[in-house]
Amino acid sequence: MSKLQMILKEDVAGQGRKGEIVNVSEGYARNFLLKGNKAIVATPEELKKIENQKKKAKKYAEEEKEKCLELKKMLESKEIVIAVKVGENGKMFGAITNKELSVDIKEVFGVEIDKKKIECNIKTVGENIATIKLHTEVKAEIKVVIKAK
C-alpha cells in the first residue's frame, strides 16, 4: 500500500494541524481527506505556495511587532493624569476601570486601545502603573497619576 503526502487545509484529529504535511494511505486520502476538502495533494507548486504564505505571515508578524514597539515608546513617554472625587480621608470612591483608562488613553495619545488589553488595579491617589498588552511579546507600562478633585 502506497503513501501519499498531503497538505492539511484544516485540523484533522489524529493526523495534524492546518498547514502541516502528512503521509497517509491512498484510500484515506481519497475517501476522507480529499472528499471532505480537508487536504490537498502535496505537489511541488502547492509546497511553494505554503512556503510563500509562511514567509508572508512571518514578515507580517515582524511588522506588527515593530509597530507595537513604537506604540510602546509613545505610550511610555507621557503620563495620564486623572482627577477623581475623594472622601474626607483622601480615599477614592471605587477604582479606575479599564474602560475609563481606555478613554483617557484615546484623549491623551489619540490611540484606541481595547479595554481587554489593559491591566489596571488603581484604587489609590498618586502615581500608579497600568500594563497594556500590545502584542504577545510587547507590554507597555504607562504611568497613571490620580489627583483629587
Q: How many domains are contained in the chain?
A: 2
**Are 53 and 83 members of one domain?**
no
CATH of the domain at 143: 3.10.430.100
Average pLDDT over residues 31-50: 91
C-alpha cell at 46: 502547492
CATH of the domain at 8: 3.40.5.10
Q: What is residue 1's predicted lDDT score, i.e. its pLDDT?
A: 65
Q: Which of the 8 DSSP states describes residue 125? A: S
**Are 53 and 80 members of one domain?**
no
User: In whole angstroms, what is the distance from residue 71 CA to residue 111 CA?
Assistant: 9
Q: What is residue 116's predicted lDDT score, i.e. its pLDDT?
A: 93
User: In whole angstroms, what is the distance from residue 48 CA to residue 55 CA?
Assistant: 11
- SS3 category, 43: coil
Q: Distance of alpha carbon 138 from its chain centroid, rounded?
A: 10
- Its pTM surpasses 0.85: no
Structural domain of 56:
3-62
pLDDT in tens, 71-121: 999 989 988 888 888 888 778 888 888 999 999 889 888 889 999 999 988
User: In whole angstroms, what is the distance from residue 57 CA to residue 55 CA?
Assistant: 5
